[in-house]
Amino acid sequence: MIKYIHTLNRIPAGYTKGEQICYTNGHRKNGWHIKLVDSVKQIKKEQKLSDKWRKSKGFNDHDDYDYIAIEVEK
Protein backbone atom coordinates (compact mmCIF):
# COMPACT_ATOMS: atom_id res chain seq x y z
CA MET A 1 0.00 0.00 0.00
CA ILE A 2 1.37 3.43 -0.95
CA LYS A 3 1.04 6.36 1.48
CA TYR A 4 2.37 9.91 1.24
CA ILE A 5 4.09 12.38 3.56
CA HIS A 6 4.20 16.15 3.16
CA THR A 7 7.61 17.81 2.94
CA LEU A 8 8.87 21.40 3.16
CA ASN A 9 12.33 21.97 1.72
CA ARG A 10 12.65 18.16 1.54
CA ILE A 11 12.12 17.88 5.32
CA PRO A 12 9.19 15.78 6.61
CA ALA A 13 6.15 17.89 7.42
CA GLY A 14 2.48 17.49 8.18
CA TYR A 15 -0.79 19.32 7.80
CA THR A 16 -2.57 20.56 10.92
CA LYS A 17 -6.28 20.60 10.14
CA GLY A 18 -7.59 24.16 9.88
CA GLU A 19 -4.09 25.62 9.84
CA GLN A 20 -0.99 24.95 7.79
CA ILE A 21 1.66 22.48 6.77
CA CYS A 22 4.65 22.69 9.10
CA TYR A 23 7.84 20.81 9.90
CA THR A 24 7.63 17.79 12.18
CA ASN A 25 9.80 19.22 14.93
CA GLY A 26 7.81 18.36 18.06
CA HIS A 27 6.56 21.90 18.65
CA ARG A 28 3.01 20.82 19.54
CA LYS A 29 1.93 20.31 23.17
CA ASN A 30 2.01 16.53 23.11
CA GLY A 31 4.69 16.22 20.47
CA TRP A 32 3.99 16.18 16.77
CA HIS A 33 4.46 13.34 14.37
CA ILE A 34 4.11 12.65 10.69
CA LYS A 35 0.61 11.79 9.55
CA LEU A 36 0.42 9.52 6.54
CA VAL A 37 -1.77 10.76 3.70
CA ASP A 38 -3.78 8.41 1.47
CA SER A 39 -3.41 10.13 -1.92
CA VAL A 40 -1.62 12.78 -3.92
CA LYS A 41 -5.05 14.41 -4.35
CA GLN A 42 -5.24 14.82 -0.56
CA ILE A 43 -1.67 16.19 -0.46
CA LYS A 44 -2.55 18.84 -3.07
CA LYS A 45 -5.80 19.74 -1.28
CA GLU A 46 -3.97 20.23 2.03
CA GLN A 47 -1.31 22.34 0.30
CA LYS A 48 -4.03 24.65 -1.03
CA LEU A 49 -5.73 24.81 2.39
CA SER A 50 -2.40 25.61 4.01
CA ASP A 51 -1.71 28.46 1.58
CA LYS A 52 -5.23 29.81 2.09
CA TRP A 53 -4.72 29.82 5.88
CA ARG A 54 -1.27 31.40 5.53
CA LYS A 55 -2.66 34.18 3.30
CA SER A 56 -5.44 34.86 5.83
CA LYS A 57 -2.74 35.43 8.47
CA GLY A 58 -0.64 37.67 6.21
CA PHE A 59 2.10 35.06 5.61
CA ASN A 60 3.71 34.29 2.25
CA ASP A 61 2.80 31.18 0.27
CA HIS A 62 5.16 28.24 0.56
CA ASP A 63 6.85 27.48 -2.74
CA ASP A 64 8.73 24.53 -1.29
CA TYR A 65 5.87 22.04 -0.81
CA ASP A 66 6.43 18.51 -1.99
CA TYR A 67 5.77 14.98 -0.81
CA ILE A 68 7.36 11.59 -0.43
CA ALA A 69 5.67 8.35 -1.45
CA ILE A 70 6.31 5.40 0.83
CA GLU A 71 5.19 1.78 0.80
CA VAL A 72 3.70 0.43 4.01
CA GLU A 73 2.54 -3.05 4.87
CA LYS A 74 -1.07 -3.59 5.90
Residue among 52, 50, 67, 71 nearest 13 (CA):
67
pLDDT given at position 58: 94
pLDDT given at position 30: 47
Query: Model's pTM, two decimal places?
Result: 0.83
pLDDT given at position 60: 87
Helix (H) or strand (E) holding 27: none
Percent with pLDDT over 90 in the chain: 54
pLDDT given at position 63: 78
**pLDDT above 80 (res 6):** yes
Average pLDDT, the chain: 87
Domain ranges in the chain are: 2-71
